[in-house]
Amino acid sequence: MPTAPDPARRHRLTEDLLGWAEGVRADLPWRATRDPWAVLVSELMLQQTQVVRVVPRYLRFLASFPTVSDCADASVGEVVRAWEGLGYNRRAVNLHRAAREIVRLHGGVVPDHLDALLALPGIGPYTARAVLCFAFERDHGVVDTNAARFLARAVAGHRLTPRSAQDLADEVVPMGRGWAWNQAVLDLAAEARVKRAPRCGECPIASSCAWVRAGAEPPDPADGSAGTTRSQSVFAGSDRQGRGRLVQALRTGPVEVARVADVTGWPEEPERARRVADALVGDGLAEYVDGQLSLPGRIP
């Protein structure tokens, strides 16, 4: 079964996608910069968080930490406070750790090599390639779950493993147009090629889509491709909810250890609350000081 499109369909797919994107591309602040630090911040913020929530927080964060060194010199607690409203607070800790490593190893300059980016704390294959593509305009394929659906449906027409999805993504990036191509892929994935019931009739690349050209018969090639079927666990009543409540309280000041169960919302489950607090400490999001739980201070 062929994976990469033949040259004629590849050209048609490229022109259809980039032509559509040129007229609808959203005016987002991280698209107006090639500053690798700003791009890195945006990519970590956008993980599992809606764009509309990210925009104002991204602008405020960069106003407080405009450079890698500004973030590295701050305390973990200051970075976590600036992360308020974005959730998944461990990303803030990872960003701080990455900033410190960039200062230590790269003189405060975000590296422009894949291996160096992957070696930074909290930076995975997607984020590393996104920085290379969106900051340095390298022709890497950027693959998140939405892009993986695009690749499986439009490009390959069949299911893809994570490795084959990445290989295919790299192969089909038009030379010298990596920034525009990957932005277009992500925009289209959000616009028309949704997880369930893709709106093929409204899709601007339907005529060059491998799955549509084959009749769009089930099974959907996106199902099971490159980990796209993974789902988030229920939030209400979860440990994640308790963690979020506790971190939010810590943003305003230390919490007495004796009050941790009340703050997490589990007054009848003190052992569970303490376990969550211990996990925050283990993740670098909090520390115990004199019978209190607080956000971490500056790292020596």
> CATH code for 7-26+140-227?
1.10.1670.10
Number of C-beta neighbours around residue 255 at 10 A: 19
pLDDT at 2: 47
- Residue 190: partners with Cβ closer than 8 Å, 6 or more residues away: 146
Residue 232 confidence (pLDDT): 61
The secondary structure of residue 153, as a DSSP letter, is I
- pLDDT tens for each residue of the chain, 300 residues long: 446 778 888 999 999 999 999 888 888 999 999 999 999 999 999 998 899 999 999 999 999 999 999 999 999 999 999 999 998 899 999 999 999 999 999 999 999 999 999 999 999 999 999 999 999 999 999 999 889 989 999 999 999 999 999 999 999 999 999 999 999 998 887 775 555 667 788 888 999 999 999 998 888 888 877 765 555 667 777 899 999 999 999 999 999 999 999 999 999 999 999 999 999 999 999 999 999 999 998 886
Give CA–CA dist 173/190, Å, rounded.
Answer: 19
Domain 35-134: which CATH number of 1.10.150.120, 3.40.50.300, 1.10.630.10, 1.10.340.30: 1.10.340.30
Strand boundaries in 241-291, DSSP class E: 255-256, 287-289
* Catalytic member of 43, 101, 268, 271: 43
Tokens of 168: 């295919």
Query: Is 217 annotated in the active site?
Result: no
Q: How far apart are the first and last CA of the chain?
A: 56
CA distance 144 to 43: 11
Contacts of residue 239, Cβ cutoff 8 Å, sequence gap at least 6? 272, 276, 279
Question: Which one, of 71, 73, 138, 67, lies nearest residue 109 by Cα?
Answer: 67
- Which of helix, strand or coil describes residue 118? helix
Nearest 5°: the CA angle 283, 287, 288 is 135
